Every structure is written in structure tokens, then in C-alpha cells.
Structure 1
């Protein structure tokens, strides 16, 4: 297995700069995800790693080889596409064997490899079927099987689950994670779905407008996002953003913002006050799950601030309940357990977990 290193990679289509100096490294055996909205450049980056797009400037290294000018077939990679890209007139067995056949691998070795990979992916009963006789999930497993039989140094996945229904996507996410745990190959996975990125990857590169906004472990990206874009993109429902001001109340630093009937003053926790550096305008970021109903468990707990807010809308989802709350003129989303679920029209007593709150600079939009 090999590492992947991308250094100051740039890509122009005419006068349009699509990638603006990308620096990334996937360690040998690591699973990294490239995530971001449509048009952010993630699929272009993957295509450049695969050799399907030329490099305007910068370097791509697979292991100890710079591969900028190396043909795709010589990069020792395997790619799984969004559209599966299976040959419709060939059987599953023939689709999986095609790459080995073109490389002149002996038939006996082909048969042995296909049998092993088919058993691993539970395709052994489907080898004589054609793609049109398979479900979407089965076709995706065939596409993965075709990549696996090559035993490459690097696996590339380009939004492989986007054509599947919601339940099948969850099932296939599990299959891909199991696949990586068993095979242990370096993997780069492109998706616009932040849940896929969070559940699959050991590290995530969040991209926007051709730049990497943050590259880190999922927990760090979720809990300490580098900027407002990352904070808003990662998480569903999205983080709530509140225009506020850091001031002092009774000698304690607080975050203040207007609410119905007055002002909310939420005490800062930990070393945040030192990082803020005195009174200033900020954007307060609070994730929906960090709002809860006041209770005996929250009262007096360090870092928990109390306030109340009217409930405008309630959305039960079974395991949890979403609610839209009014913080003055601003609508804020909260995620609650069924036993603390609010009712529409209620003035809900809230406990705000300020140990998990984020403060952003409203000018630079970066985390303070």
C-alpha cells in the first residue's frame, strides 16, 4: 500500500481556476474523504489523482513516485464511479475479469481472484448475471469487485452511493467501511454527503470554491470547525449562527444577543474569553443537540447557561424531535430527546451547553 501526497495542486479550465493550491496527504492505509458542495472541485481533484485530468501546476505523489505525467493505467489505482460503469452485455464475472484480461493475467489466476473477491462481496451467486438483472446495490458491489481484483495501491471512490435509495446507502456505507477494514488500502472517497464523510473517513478534507477549508479528523471538524462554512456544512441539521457580542456582566465575560422581551447573556466557559480578548462582535455557533430542556441534571452544571425561547414549530422524527425556536427575530433549530420534546407555542426553558459553543469572527468568518 502507498501514501498519496498532493502539493500546491492547481487546475485551470481556460481562465477559470477550479483548484487553488491544494495540499493534502493520505497516509498509507488511511481512508480520507473529500467533501463539499457541488462545484467545489472535489471530483476534479480525484480525476487529477486518477490521471483523467491534467495538472496545471503542482505535484501528485503516489508513494515515492510523482505521477503528474504517468498514464492512468500505470498509476496502480482502481476507481469506483458514481454510475458503476459496468459493461451491460457482459456478465458479472466478465466485468470483473475485464481488467485482468487486458493485462494478460493467466486465466487460472483470474478465476481464483474472482472467486475470492466474489465471496467476500457476496457476489458468488450472481457471477453469471448481467448488470441489467441486478439491483443498484448489487451493481455497486460489482463495481467495487472489479476494483478489488486489481489489488491496487490506491482506491478512488467518486460519489459511489449517490444513485442509491436512503436505506441502501446506509447498507453500502457499512459494506465500504468493512471493505476498508479488511483490505486496508489507502482510499480517497469523494462525496457531497457529510454523513458519509463523518462515518467512513479517518480524516476529512472539507472543500469550498476550489480550496481546502479544513483537513482533520471527523471529531475535530465537527466540534472545532475552522470557519463558518465548515461549521454550517458539517452537521445535519446545520449549526445555528447568532450575531452576538462578548461583554462583561457582574465581572464575568458573557455572550449577549437580543431575544423576545430582552437580552440573553450566556456566560463563556473555559479559555474562550482569553481567545476573544475582551469586548467584541462575534458570531455564536450552537449545534442543535447542544440545546436541551432545563432539568435537575442541567441546573448548576459547569458550562451550562440558561435562557428561554418560544417554540414555533415541532418536527417529531421518532428517535428525536426537532424544534424551531425563536431567539428574537432569529429562528434556531434544536434537537431534543422524546422525553424532553417541546410543544408548539410553549415558552421553553433551555439549557445551552456553552462548553460546546463556537465563536467566530464576523469579519474573517474564522473560529476564534
Structure 2
């Protein structure tokens, strides 16, 4: 196992700055997810780690070795691509062993590595088939097998599941997580899917416009997002952002927000939130699952639960739960409800807002307060 250290990494394409001073460190055996929207720079960063893209400035270290000028074949890495990149005229066996053949690895070692990897990925019965005879999930297993036989210091995954349908993506996500637990190799995984990042990663680097917005464990990225971009990107449906202003007295600080009829509702602040607010205006961030049908008994047991009334504009049943869109002030607010508490279209509903789980953001900087 090896570490990966990236220091003040920049990448320019002519006058266009694509990466703007990236600093990341992956500990030995960690699974790091690079996540962000298209064009944020995550695939470019992965290409630079692999040696497929040059470095404008900064440093990339694999273990104790500076690899800025090292050729891809000499970096001791293995990469799994989105497109599988399998040779269509070769069997699965030949695809997996091709790299070892090129490096003139002895036949006995090849056979041992093939047997080990085929058993690990449960593809023993596929070894004599060609890629055209395989499903998408089977092809992705073969692509991973080709990487695994190398026993590299670092695994790089470039959106490996984006070509698969939703059900198969979930299955392969589980397989990749099991594989990482078995093999324990340091892994860098690029995805635009925040669910993949949350379920797979030890730590997540959320990227936007060439910069890392937050680098932390998944739960912290979700619960305490560094800014409104991270808060809005991580989570589906995304976090609600509600304009608010500080109100109440020193003993009972609260936030004042507009309701649908133009009046104002007061939401008591929880803990030391009021002390962190530097100006009168804030952005209140609330996850959909922290909005529920108000229940006095639950509110009595749960400190920080506030109540307000809002009309229901849209209801979307999803099976186990129901997504509802309410009107608050001049904007829509999304809530996630248990099936037995689902509101009805047009209903005027009493909402419970869990202020203990809410986030406050500075309207000027968009950063977490």
C-alpha cells in the first residue's frame, strides 16, 4: 500500500486555468472519492495522477516518490476507465493477462494472478468468453480484473459505473466496496454521482470550478457542508436554502422567515447558533429529511423542533417515502415524508423544522457560519 500526496497543484490549458491549487492527501489504504459536476476538473486531476496529463505547477507524490516527470507505465498504478477499454477480439483470459504478457511476466505467475483475481471477482466461468458476450457489469469486472493482476500501489477509477443502468450501478457499487475491503489498496475514484461518493469513500473531495470546496469524511460533508455549493450538490433532493434574518431577544434568539401569505414566522435557534451570526441576514439551510409533519409529542422530546404552516403545491410518491413541495415566502421548499405522514396536494400543512440539524450560511460569502 502507498500514500498519495498532492501539493498546490495547478493545470492550465493555454490561458484557461483548470485546476487552481489542489491540496489533497490519501492515506495508505484509503478510498478517496473526487466528486463534482461536469467540468469541475476531477477527471483532469485523475489524469495528472496517472501521468496522462502534464503538471503546470505543484507536486504529485506516490509514497515517497515525486512522480511529476515519471511516465505512466513507471508510476505503479492501475486505472479502470468508464469505457471498459477491453480488446474485443480477445477472450476475458487474454484481456486480463495482456499487460502481464507485455511485461514478460512468467507464465506460471500469470496463471496464479489470473486464478486469484478471477476468484476474487467471481468471473472464473467467463474466462473463455469475449467482451461482446458479456453484460455491462461483467465487462466492468473484467476491466477491474485487468487492473488487479498488476498489484499496484494505487488504483484509479474514472467514472467506472456511469455506463450502467441504475440497478446494475447499485450492484457494482457494492462489489467495488467489497473489493476494496478485501484488497485494501489506496484508491482514487472519480464520480459525478454523490450517492456513489457517500457510499464508497473513506473521505470525499467535493470539487467545483477547479478547486476543492471540502475534503472530509462523508457524514461531515453531508451534515456540515463548507458552503452552499457543497450543501446543494450533496444530497438528493438537495438542501433547501431559505433567506432569513436574526430576530428575537438575547434569551430567545430566533430566525424570522417569510411564509406563503406574506407574514413572518419565527424559528427558534438551537445551541450557540446565534453567537456565530455576524450580521442580521443569513441563509437557513435545511435538508428535506429534516422537514416533517409537526407532531407536538415529537417536538417535546426533540429540542430544536420549530413549527410553521405552508401550503403543499406538489406531491411525488416514491414508494417507501413521499417527496412534497411546499411554498414558503416566494420560494419552493422540499420535504421528505414517511409514507404514513404524506401530505396531500393543496393541503395547508403544519411543518416541523429540525433546527438542531439546520445549517446557517453567510449570504455574502456563501460559507457555513
TM-score by length of 1: 0.98
Distance in 2 (alpha carbons) for counterparts of 1:273 and 1:329: 25
| TM-aligned CA deviation for residue 104 of structure 1 | 1.1
Q: Which residue of 2 aligns with 1:27?
A: 27
Distance in 2 (alpha carbons) for counterparts of 1:37 and 1:170: 20
CA contact (8 A) 1:30 1:202 kept: yes
Q: Which residue of 2 aligns with 1:344?
A: 345
| TM-aligned CA deviation for residue 68 of structure 1 | 0.3
Residue 302 of structure 1: SS of its match in structure 2? coil
Distance in 2 (alpha carbons) for counterparts of 1:135 and 1:249: 64
| TM-aligned CA deviation for residue 251 of structure 1 | 4.2
Q: Which residue of 1 aligns with 2:169?
A: 169
Distance in 2 (alpha carbons) for counterparts of 1:249 and 1:289: 29
> Mapping of 1:71-90 within 5 angstroms?
71-90=71-90
Residue 125 of structure 2: SS of its match in structure 1? coil
Q: Which residue of 1 aligns with 2:224?
A: 224
Q: Which residue of 2 aligns with 1:158?
A: 158
| TM-aligned CA deviation for residue 264 of structure 1 | 1.3
Q: Which residue of 1 aligns with 2:209?
A: 209
Unaligned segments of structure 1, at least 5 residues: none
Distance in 2 (alpha carbons) for counterparts of 1:181 and 1:249: 52
Residue 236 of structure 1: SS of its match in structure 2? coil
Output the aligned Cα RMSD.
0.9
Residue 172 of structure 1: SS of its match in structure 2? helix
Distance in 1 (alpha carbons) for counterparts of 2:314 and 2:24: 42
Distance in 2 (alpha carbons) for counterparts of 1:81 and 1:119: 22
| TM-aligned CA deviation for residue 248 of structure 1 | 1.7
> Mapping of 1:142-157 within 5 angstroms?
142-157=142-157
Deviates most, 207-216 or 302-311: 302-311
| TM-aligned CA deviation for residue 298 of structure 1 | 2.1
Deviates most, 171-180 or 238-247: 238-247
Distance in 2 (alpha carbons) for counterparts of 1:197 and 1:191: 7
Q: Which residue of 2 aligns with 1:39?
A: 39
Q: Which residue of 1 aligns with 2:299?
A: 299
Deviations 1:33-87 (A, max 9, x none): 0000000000000000000000000000000000000110110100000000001
Residue 190 of structure 1: SS of its match in structure 2? strand
Residue 257 of structure 1: SS of its match in structure 2? strand
Q: Which residue of 2 aligns with 1:107?
A: 107
Residue 297 of structure 2: SS of its match in structure 1? coil
Residue 297 of structure 1: SS of its match in structure 2? helix
Q: Which residue of 2 aligns with 1:91?
A: 91
Q: Which residue of 1 aligns with 2:336?
A: 335
TM superposition outliers: structure 1 runs of 4+ over 3 Å? none
| TM-aligned CA deviation for residue 205 of structure 1 | 0.2
CA contact (8 A) 1:298 1:351 kept: no
Distance in 2 (alpha carbons) for counterparts of 1:359 and 1:295: 24
> Mapping of 1:113-124 within 5 angstroms?
113-124=113-124
| TM-aligned CA deviation for residue 271 of structure 1 | 1.1
Distance in 1 (alpha carbons) for counterparts of 2:57 and 2:29: 27
Unaligned segments of structure 2, at least 5 residues: none
Deviations 1:195-229 (A, max 9, x none): 00000001000000000000000000000000000
| TM-aligned CA deviation for residue 249 of structure 1 | 4.8
